[in-house]
Amino acid sequence: MANKTTTPSSSEGLAEAEKVTVTIDGREVAVPRGSLVVDAASSLGIHIPIYCAHPKLDPVAVCRMCLVRVGKMPRLQPACATVVSDGMVVTTQSPEVAKVREGMLEFLLLNHPLDCPVCDRGGECDLQDFAVRYGPQTSRFPITQKSHAAKAVVLSDKIELDQERCILCWRCTRYYDEITGEKELVLVRRGIDTVIDSFNGEPLTSDFQGNLPEVCPVGALTHRQYRFQARPWDLQRTKGICPECSYGCNINIDARDFEIKRFASRDNPQVEDMWLCDRGRYSVEKWSHGSRVRHPLIRAGGEVREVGVDEAVAEAARQLGEVLRLHGGGAIGVIGSPMLTNEELWLLQRLARETLDCHNCDHQLDELGNVSADEHSLGIAEIEDCETVVVLGAEPEANTPVLTLRLHKAQLRRGVEVRRVEHDASPASLGIKGKRLVGVIADEVHRAYAADMADALASGNTLVKRLTVTRGVNGRGAKDMGMLPTQGPGYSRVTGGKDGRQILHAASAGAIKALLLVGAETVLRGAGILAEKALAKVDVIIAIEPRAGIVANAASVVIPGHTYFEKRGSVTNVEGRVQRVSPALPPATAAPQETRVLAMLAAALGATGWGTGDPFEVNTMLSQAIDAYRGAGNGGRALWKRQGEPR
């Protein structure tokens, strides 16, 4: 039943598959054995309209939209469920097929409301598109005799259902069956009265509801968050990476009038496999609101002065240089944030270590144990190749929710054994023996447990790979870049400095005289009263900060920063995949991007060889400095040498 070829799980698998040759509309094509006719046709660029079929779901062939003539079979066959065989001859363009398509569309439109002008799907709706392309141009049924069903049914705080618009393709129910494993939507009643509804009429509770409007081919299921926000043609689409966690889900950022209207999935089979979680998808509103720092400011003697960027940078360099001269680099603390790009983090740690001679740099509050490149050797898609996956505690799936879907897929399609255990479960009690590949997944707080578990499970034939879930969109990149107190770029050991919390403690005790904070507002807020004490005590606070808040209010020099959606650069996800981000919104400030400001600051402090701080230039520099990043490019994984294993 499970058709694995339609959902290639990893890059392997397809490569060695045997090919068969089929003829579609007179053109020959060689496709892997087991492919479906609809996929073979699309590889030739021949479009077959589908409704119930979905690339990530098993075929059911209920909608009959895809009927085509296959060889000498007596009736037309559904292309979405017919597997190719050698020498098969398929006709998709003939009067016979066209007539059937017209008929199917006429049926579908029979009771479909004339809602297009008010429907959120209008403009990107398969029913509209196919009706124009393949449908009858007129209707033989009077509009007044349409049968009606409930409209604007609120299924949950996130999803709204219009039962009239539903074409009963079952994609939504199958999504729940096959992708999340929850069963929240059902078909109720029979015949012409059949409608989709939630099970027992209860509100949906899934964490992955936001995918429903995307699987629905029509406007029956829609987002409450995106309700009547825009038309698809209003939207400016930018490729991006979801800002909510470090899983690195690929998204399309759809903005209208400089305001993000929605996040849509952008299928990357290696990462999120086109499914997003609701936390990420509906985090849209955060990014359009909140007050911003717009101009560089210098605060002196209780007075705030608006200045130009050059002046602010010069003043910052003067203040930092003075502290450096009087008290040395040990009296400076540098705090970044996991929301920064690799380029910014790399420059920031370089500025701290090389120019300011300071080892107190961190991107979070606490150094959570010894970090190593080993802790993310397991790729996300590789989970499906494991025989057993051990998940320590609930945090990995709570922090990166889409992981749950990958585990479910691995279980359902590949028979992977998923063991969810306590953090301190004893490896012996799990009884994992004689496996080829075992995955161990933990969050970064419990990375020590995961290391022990991996050591205990590894034996002669068993290869154990680990995946450590970091926090913040670029939590992994921050570690790779060496924005850590005890480790430099590429996890090299360096002279130990203070971690985030220790910096704040030292600052409130007076031992640290200057703070350089880049986008650190959220990190510092996490420290509560301690951060406020530190900010009140220290005189020299240089902040590059996009948002107004405790940092911008206390800093002696504020340079406006850019939010995550306003900058260029790359971020690294949990498995070490380096993905590019580019601005989806125009910056709210005229100040240059952080990388450039950092380069200016370094130059003002007397450093040479920093270049202009152009993100691309910095990216080139950092890939030369860090081996693993050299081959990563955009979208590849930074592959690290495993300890004790040449690779």
Partner 1 sequence: MFKEIIKGMAITLRYGLSRPITVQWPEEQKPATPRHRGRHILHRYYNGLEKCIGCELCAAACPVGCIYVGPAENDPLNPVSPGERYAKRYEINLMRCIFCGYCASACPTEAITLGPQCDFANYRRERTVLTKQELLEAWPKFERSRGDMNQRGAGADQRSTGKSLNPGPSPRLAWEAQADETHEAPLPGHGGIPVNVPGVIDPSEESRA
Instruction: Give contact residues for ligand FES (rule: CB under 6 A).
Output: 50-53, 61-66, 78, 80
Nearest by Cα to 247 from 352, 144, 398, 131: 398
- Is residue 601 near ligand SF4 by the rule CB under 6 A? no
CA distances from 41 to 89, 100, 126, 284 (A): 11, 18, 18, 37
Closest CB to ligand FES among residues 41, 632: 41
Q: What, of ligand SF4, ligand FES, partner 1, none, does residue 171 touch, CB below 5 to 8 Å by kind?
A: ligand SF4
172 binds, among partner 1, ligand FES, ligand SF4, none (CB under 5 to 8 A by kind): ligand SF4
Cβ proximity to ligand SF4, 217 vs 592, nearer residue = 217
DSSP count for the chain of H helices, then E strands: 19, 26
Residue 572, H or E segment: strand 569-572
Closer of 101 and 121 to ligand FES (Cβ): 101
**Residue 205 CB, nearest distance to ligand SF4 (Å)?**
18
By CB under 8 A, name the binding residues for partner 1.
117-118, 122, 151-152, 227-231, 233-234, 257-259, 288-292, 586, 588
By CB under 6 A, tell whether 60 contacts ligand SF4. Answer: no
Q: Among 221, 352, 453, 602, indicate the residue that binds ligand SF4 (CB under 6 A).
A: 221
Minimum distance of ligand FES from residue 50's CB (angstroms):
4
At 237, is the secondary structure helix, strand, or coil?
Answer: strand
287 sits near ligand SF4 (criterion: CB under 6 A): no
To which H or E segment does residue 522 belong? Answer: helix 521-525
Report which residue type is found at 451.
A
Nearer to partner 1, 116 or 639 (CB): 116
Burial of 623 (0-12, 13-18, 19+ CB in 10 A): buried
CA distance linking residue 35 with residue 17, whole number of Å: 10
18 touches, from ligand SF4, ligand FES, partner 1, none (C-beta below 5 to 8 Å by class): none
Distance CA 562, CA 477 (A): 18
Site for ligand SF4 in 170-209 (CB under 6 A): 170-172, 196
CB of 166 to ligand FES, least distance (A): 14
List the beta strands (DSSP E) in 221-337. Answer: 221-223, 236-241, 250-256, 259-265, 297-300, 303-306, 332-335
Which residues fall within 8 angstroms of residue 80, CB to CB, at 6 or more apart?
36, 37, 38, 48, 50, 52, 53, 59, 61, 66
- Report whether 48 contacts 70 (CB < 8 A): no
Nearest CB to partner 1, comparing residues 292 and 409: 292
Closest to ligand FES by CB, 51 or 282? 51
Give the one entry of ligand SF4, ligand FES, partner 1, none that residue 357 binds, where binding means its C-beta sits below a cut-off of 5 to 8 angstroms depending on kind.
none
In angstroms, the Cα distances linking 103 to 46, 54, 65, 139, 480 are: 21, 22, 9, 11, 58
> Contacts from 142-151 at CB under 8 Å and sequence distance 24+?
143/114, 146/110, 146/111, 146/112, 146/113, 147/111, 147/192, 148/111, 148/113, 149/195, 150/195, 151/113
Between residues 134 and 346, which has the closer beta carbon with respect to ligand SF4? 134
Of the residues 218, 512, 516, 632, which one makes contact with ligand SF4 according to CB under 6 A: 218
Q: How far is the CB of 598 from ligand FES (least distance, A)?
A: 53
Q: Is 167 in the site for ligand SF4 (CB under 6 A)?
A: yes
**At closest approach, how far in Å is the CB of 622 from ligand SF4?**
44
Residues 11-40 that bind ligand SF4 (CB under 6 A): none
Q: Smallest gap, in angstroms, from Cβ of residue 170 to ligand SF4?
A: 5
Determine if 275 is a binding residue for ligand SF4 (CB under 6 A).
no
Chain centroid to Cα 178, Å, comes to 21
Residue 220 sits in the site that holds ligand SF4 (CB under 6 A): yes
Distance between CA 101 and CA 562 in Å, rounded? Answer: 51
Q: Which residues bind ligand SF4 (CB under 6 A)?
A: 166-172, 196, 215-218, 220-221
